[in-house]
Structure 1
Amino acid sequence: MAVTDPPAPTIASEVPEVSEPRDAREHAEAPGEQANRRWNEILQETRVAQTGVQILFGFLLSVAFTAGFRDLGTIDRTIYVVTVVLGAAATGSLIAPVSIHRFLSGQRMKDELVETAHRLMMFGMALLALTIGSTLLLILRVVLPGLIAEFLVAGVMLYFGLCWYALPLWLRRRASRNENA
């Protein structure tokens, strides 16, 4: 007598709900499965960040070869140099996980790889925010009079801090409180 699977649900109301919290599912994963899932998530996030930083860095590199660059004063040239260095550092941090993975592939070090990639991504995102902010400062100083550029850039940087760091930390704290309730 053969054992058969039960018939698949035919309407949406018959589909069982997954009610366990995400953390419970993560704990149900084998350590290797969890590391693989986290690594795949980092790769997807890295692709988005890398694209942005590479486009911005390419733009920055071309600025020095424009006619208007010669007209920049010492402060603006300094901002430009700092911006290019920040862009290069952000590029390095955001691409580093790929290189590390190539070197460590097959070494059974996925947990260390994921943790290191996570730290590099967080640092790279901070560098990317600073690169965007200093690029914006450079552009707005050329376009706007007085201290308007500095105030606008400060507002944008505050917004980045809220969206990229404060909001995720607040959501994590809220989820943690809900689990403990």
Structure 2
Amino acid sequence: MSTGHAPTGDGARPQRPEPRPEATAPPRADSEWNYRVRHETPTQRLDRNWSHILQELRVVQTGMQILTGFLLTLPFQQRFSDLQAFEKDLYLITLAMSTAATIVLVSPVAMHRLLFRRHALPVLVEQGQRFAVTGLLLLGGALTGVLTPTFDVVVNKTTGLIAGGCAVLLAITLWCCYPLLFAHQLHLGRPEKQPDEPQHPRNHH
């Protein structure tokens, strides 16, 4: 007499859910890739994206705050009054861009505090991305503005303008063109919009 247990239910053992077939997902869909490779829910994905944004902003904020603090001290230096009108105008523009960059880069943190426990993480991730890109643009302008008058005072105005132009070209190349070139070569496509609602995987029979 057999002592084995008879199968229950449909007569099959419980099995782990099989990975989602490739054919059921749109090609190169980021959410589908996260599900297949990371086994990550949309909420977990938002948490990870938000954590990455905060880490990146933390790196940029430190240098931006130091630069802004340095610029704020320049008018109180003895030789500041010796600057020409062009140099003073460029200084004010640089200070404005540096201050704006600092405010923009801190904005995601302020949004997070005001929207805390309101289930607004999709909005925070989307707006945090925009603030980060805007802050980097302002940072590039501020760095250019610092470099131009420095070369102007040390060498001459022409050299200062050339140095500023080189800084702009380098920032555009490394911050914009280089990543976009990789995206084009790897056929990465455009970033996928964050889901507003948590989505559950569909069952396939």
Q: TM-score range by the shorter chain?
A: 0.7 to 0.9
Q: Could you say which residue in structure 2 is the equivalent of 1:90?
A: 101
CA distance in 2, matches of 1:37, 1:48: 17
Q: How does 1:20-59 map to 2 (within 5 A)?
A: 23=30, 25-27=33-35, 28-59=39-70
Aligned residues: 159
Q: How does 1:112-123 map to 2 (within 5 A)?
A: 112-123=123-134
CA-CA distance at 1:26 after TM superposition: 2.0
CA-CA distance at 1:165 after TM superposition: 1.0
Distance 1:38 1:104, change over 3 A: same
SS across alignment from 2:117: coil
SS across alignment from 2:187: helix
Q: Between Structure 1 and Structure 2, whose CA radius of gyration is higher?
A: 2
Distance 1:124 1:139, change over 3 A: same
CA RMSD of aligned residues (A): 2.0
Residue 141 (1) aligns with residue 152 (2): yes
Q: How does 1:122-161 map to 2 (within 5 A)?
A: 122-161=133-172
Instruction: Determine which structure has the larger helix proportion and give its number.
Output: 1
CA distance in 1, matches of 2:137, 2:77: 28
Instruction: Output the TM-score relative to the length of structure 1.
Output: 0.82
- Structure 1, gaps ≥5 residues long: 1-20
